[in-house]
């Protein structure tokens, strides 16, 4: 909820996050990567109680100490550390009822004495969700007349449990030296069932055949990690050094069974086939990182650091095909892909404040070496590739206070960033979603580079106006190709994407009992690229507006109304329909330790995705996508224990980029 209400942040139905109209946001939690993406990330964040949130750091151009990955920037979700002496903690219980029932819950505790701090965070998310997807396609002749029609409804039903754990300890060797260990883990077991009906019509809209399918995916996903960290403060001026060593492991096992039945128009059975698949995937990440800060004379601060990471992946797809009760290996879809990647980085950053000026400049160097190997089978030959590239990523920031009271401020920032492909997207597997729809990986994906700059004006810290510009080359985006009536979704590099944006944000308190935040953004997106059907060129302007009002009602009662609206949006090959939503909540503080909250999300069930796909060979296509967005949430939070004098704790942030490139 906090993310969706943050200025410039948009979250879609699947939990995908964009910042000021750009995809490619890297998410951190307490300066560490989030582990998750998409719907899994959204479910995990919903399990975090609002009382645990400290602040959100939204950085469109992060400084040089951050990895250069993420062409839209970084969002760092900082939670309250709970490092007070003694024993303390809390829990949050939630009941979420839409058309289906969900229940995200969490528990945390902290115990600290003069030498050691222990902490544990646990969460469980019992999740039921659905997607109701309608797809329509019109296949055309060369003279643009209708050749045939295709209408499909897919109802995806998902059930499962997600368990997360984060536990660790900090050992205070002295007042200036701290050693720490953090253990993390996640287990997700889920089943997705897709009941699918496809109707095929001839050019006269007469029913030709009916295809029904029941597709079942059983998924078991496990993730574990260990972080060792060290921090030493040489003095009280900010002279310090930190170091992190990380190991992460991801294990994913998906078992698929797709039953397809083809019928004549009179519902007599034409044929039946079954596709079974076993898809294990393993990812291991190793990372070492150190950062050093040294205050110099004349209010200058020097920062420098080194990082090295190594990633290896092992993906297998083993398919069997059954037709007329005869089962054979499906070598066309079966595959085995190995990938390894080493990233070495170094950075230098200088920061100086003088009079009304604050200036920061940084330079980061990253070298990437990668190797991919697709093992052959009876019908596919072996293939391999290697890449080695080095890039520089400068950053620059300047802030000027127009008056001594800092009521008027001007700021400018510039940065160059990179967006490397997800590891799984480099895998050249052909993965069926249904009989007419396939996902295809792309081992030839190149990293995307983006130049971004912003100019902003802030009035009394309550009003902000920003003009921004970004220019991306080789941006990775989903592309759609239709061949012989079959739909292939593939990640591809787009030649050039240019964003021009102007935004305004205001936080006002018209009354003591009312706080209002208003945000509006106008963004022009232009895409130019070579494409399957020739040149792709799209350009359009999208408006995004959000509002949030918080009411203090007295006697421990608070209320909230929020909503947002986005008009039609052009995004490469896709035209996304307008969408809006409205939410309401009321909260009662029962006492100093407990709070009860009732929320209603998507009051008018208006959060429905619609769209059109352009640049298809002799095909028109559109879709309507509904999910369980309207729901009522009842949550209860309680804190316990006593707090004494606290001490700051080191937050490790080693393999940030690598974790965020793991799809779930």
Q: Indicate if the pLDDT at residue 44 is higher than 70.
A: no
Average pLDDT, the chain: 91
Average pLDDT over residues 482-487: 88
Q: Model confidence at 352, in pLDDT bands (50, 70, 90)?
A: very high
Per-residue burial over 517-526, b if 16 or more Cβ lie within 10 Å, else e, is: bbbbbebebb
Q: Indicate if the pLDDT at residue 29 is higher than 80.
A: no
CB 609 within 8 A of CB 13: yes
Q: Model confidence at 607, in pLDDT bands (50, 70, 90)?
A: very high
CB neighbour class for 93 (10 Å; exposed up to 12, middle 13-18, buried from 19): middle
What are the extents of the domains in the chain? 9-660
Average pLDDT over residues 422-443: 89
Q: Indicate if the pLDDT at residue 646 is higher than 60.
A: no
- 192, two tokens: 């997705």
Q: What is the pLDDT of residue 207?
A: 97
pLDDT in tens, 391-417: 999 999 999 999 999 999 999 999 999
pLDDT in tens, 542-572: 999 999 999 999 999 999 999 999 999 998 9
| Number of neighbouring beta carbons within 10 Å of residue 592 | 7
Q: Indicate if the pLDDT at residue 36 is higher than 80.
A: no
Q: Indicate if the pLDDT at residue 645 is higher than 60.
A: no
CA 452 to each of CA 60, 65, 147, 318, 505: distance values in angstroms, whole numbers, following the listed order: 8, 17, 45, 43, 20
**What is the maximum alpha-carbon separation in the chain?**
86
Average pLDDT over residues 634-662: 65
Phi, psi of 19 (to 5 degrees): -130, 120
Question: Strands, DSSP E only, in 331-404?
Answer: 335-354, 357-375, 383-401
- 218, two tokens: 């059983």
Q: What is the pLDDT of residue 498?
A: 96
| Dist. CA 417–CA 552, nearest whole Å | 42
Q: What is the pLDDT of residue 71?
A: 80
| Dist. CA 138–CA 241, nearest whole Å | 62
Query: What is the number of alpha carbons within 13 Å of residue 460 lying toward its C-beta?
Result: 6
Q: Scan for tokens 């800092």, then name that residue.
A: 406
Q: Scan for tokens 């950062």, then name that residue.
A: 291
Q: What is the pLDDT of residue 652?
A: 52
Q: Phi/psi zone of residue 438: left (φ > 0), alpha (ψ -120 to 50 degrees), beta?
A: beta
- The H-or-E segment that residue 658 falls in is helix 656-660
Beta bridge partners of residue 587, listed in sequence order: 558, 597
Q: What is the pLDDT of residue 6?
A: 82
- The H-or-E segment that residue 435 falls in is none
* 127-136, 300-309, 479-488, 544-553: range with lowest mean pLDDT: 479-488
Q: Indicate if the pLDDT at residue 454 is higher than 60.
A: yes
| Dist. CA 183–CA 35, nearest whole Å | 13
Phi, psi of 10 (to 5 degrees): -125, 135
| Dist. CA 363–CA 617, nearest whole Å | 45
CB 289 within 8 A of CB 306: yes
Question: What SS3 class is residue 475?
Answer: strand
pTM of the model: 0.91
* 224-233, 502-511, 654-663: range with lowest mean pLDDT: 654-663
Q: What is the pLDDT of residue 240?
A: 97
Q: Scan for tokens 């998750």, then name that residue.
A: 36
- The H-or-E segment that residue 42 falls in is helix 38-46
pLDDT in tens, 259-280: 999 999 999 999 999 999 999 9
Q: Indicate if the pLDDT at residue 648 is higher than 50.
A: no
Residue from 392, 418, 304 nearest 350 by CA? 304
pLDDT in tens, 153-210: 999 999 999 999 999 999 999 999 999 999 999 999 999 999 999 999 999 999 999 9
Q: Scan for tokens 């990690």, then name that residue.
A: 225
- The H-or-E segment that residue 71 falls in is none
Q: Model confidence at 50, in pLDDT bands (50, 70, 90)?
A: low
Average pLDDT over residues 407-432: 92
CATH fold of 9-660 reads Maltoporin; Chain A (2.40.170)
């Amino acid at each position: 909820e906090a993310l969706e209400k943050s200025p410039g942040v948009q979250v879609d139905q699947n939990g995908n996050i964009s910042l000021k109209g750009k995809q490619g946001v890297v998410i951190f939690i307490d300066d560490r990567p989030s582990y998750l993406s998409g719907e899994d990330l959204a479910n995990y964040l919903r399990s975090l109680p609002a009382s645990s949130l400290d602040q959100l750091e939204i950085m469109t151009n992060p400084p040089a100490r951050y990895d250069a990955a993420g062409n839209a920037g970084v969002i760092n979700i900082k939670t309250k550390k709970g490092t007070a002496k003694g024993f303390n903690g809390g829990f949050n219980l939630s009941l979420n009822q839409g058309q289906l029932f969900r229940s995200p819950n969490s528990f945390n505790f902290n115990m600290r004495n003069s030498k050691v701090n222990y902490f544990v965070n646990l969460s469980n998310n019992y999740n039921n969700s659905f997607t109701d997807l309608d797809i329509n396609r019109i296949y055309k002749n060369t003279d643009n007349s209708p050749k045939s029609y295709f209408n499909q409804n897919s109802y995806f039903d998902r059930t499962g449990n997600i368990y997360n754990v984060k536990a660790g300890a900090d050992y205070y060797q002295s007042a200036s030296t701290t050693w720490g260990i953090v253990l993390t883990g996640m287990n997700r077991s889920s089943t997705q069932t897709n009941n699918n009906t496809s109707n095929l019509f001839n050019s006269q809209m007469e029913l030709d055949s009916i295809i029904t399918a029941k597709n079942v995916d059983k998924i078991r996903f496990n993730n574990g990690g260990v972080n060792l960290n060290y921090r030493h403060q040489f003095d009280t001026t900010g002279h310090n050094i930190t170091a992190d060593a990380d190991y992460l492991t991801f294990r994913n096992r998906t078992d698929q069974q797709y039953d397809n039945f083809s019928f004549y128009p009179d519902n007599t059975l034409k044929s039946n086939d079954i596709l079974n698949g076993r898809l294990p995937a393993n990812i291991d990440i190793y990372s070492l990182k150190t950062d050093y800060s040294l205050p110099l004379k004349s209010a200058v601060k020097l920062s420098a650091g080194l990082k090295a990471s190594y990633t290896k992946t092992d993906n297998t797809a083993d398919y069997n095909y059954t037709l007329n009760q005869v089962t054979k290996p499906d070598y066309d879809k079966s595959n085995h892909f190995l990938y390894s990647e080493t990233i070495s980085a170094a950075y230098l950053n200088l920061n100086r404040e003088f009079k009304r000026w604050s200036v920061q400049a940084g330079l980061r160097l990253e070298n990437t070496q990668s190797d991919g190997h697709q093992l052959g089978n009876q019908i596919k030959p072996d293939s391999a590739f290697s890449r080695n590239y080095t890039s520089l990523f400068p950053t620059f920031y300047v802030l000027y206070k127009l008056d001594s009271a800092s009521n008027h401020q001007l700021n400018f920032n510039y940065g160059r960033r990179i967006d490397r492909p997800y590891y799984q997207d480099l895998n050249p597997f052909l993965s069926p979603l249904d009989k007419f729809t396939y996902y295809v990986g792309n081992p030839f994906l190149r990293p995307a580079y983006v130049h971004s700059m912003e100019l902003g004006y802030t009035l009394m810290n309550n009003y902000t106006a920003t003009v921004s510009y970004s220019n991306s080359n080789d941006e990775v985006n989903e592309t759609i190709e239709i061949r012989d009536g079959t739909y292939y979704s593939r990640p591809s590099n787009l030649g050039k994407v240019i964003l021009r944006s102007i935004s305004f944000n205001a936080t006002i308190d018209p009354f003591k009992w009312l706080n209002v935040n208003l945000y509006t953004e106008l963004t022009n997106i232009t895409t130019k690229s070579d494409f399957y059907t020739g040149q792709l060129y799209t350009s359009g302007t999208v408006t995004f507006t959000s509002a949030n009002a918080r009411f203090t009602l007295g006697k421990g009662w608070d209320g909230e109304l929020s909503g947002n609206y986005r008009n039609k949006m052009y995004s490469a090959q896709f035209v996304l329909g307008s969408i809006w939503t409205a939410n309401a909540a009321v909260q009662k503080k029962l006492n100093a330790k407990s709070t009860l909250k009732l929320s209603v999300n998507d009051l008018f069930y208006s959060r429905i995705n619609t769209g059109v796909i352009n640049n298809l060979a002799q095909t028109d296509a559109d879709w309507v996508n509904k999910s369980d967005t309207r729901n009522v949430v009842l949550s209860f939070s309680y804190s316990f224990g006593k707090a004494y004098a606290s001490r700051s704790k080191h937050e490790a942030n080693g393999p940030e980029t690598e974790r965020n490139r793991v799809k779930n």
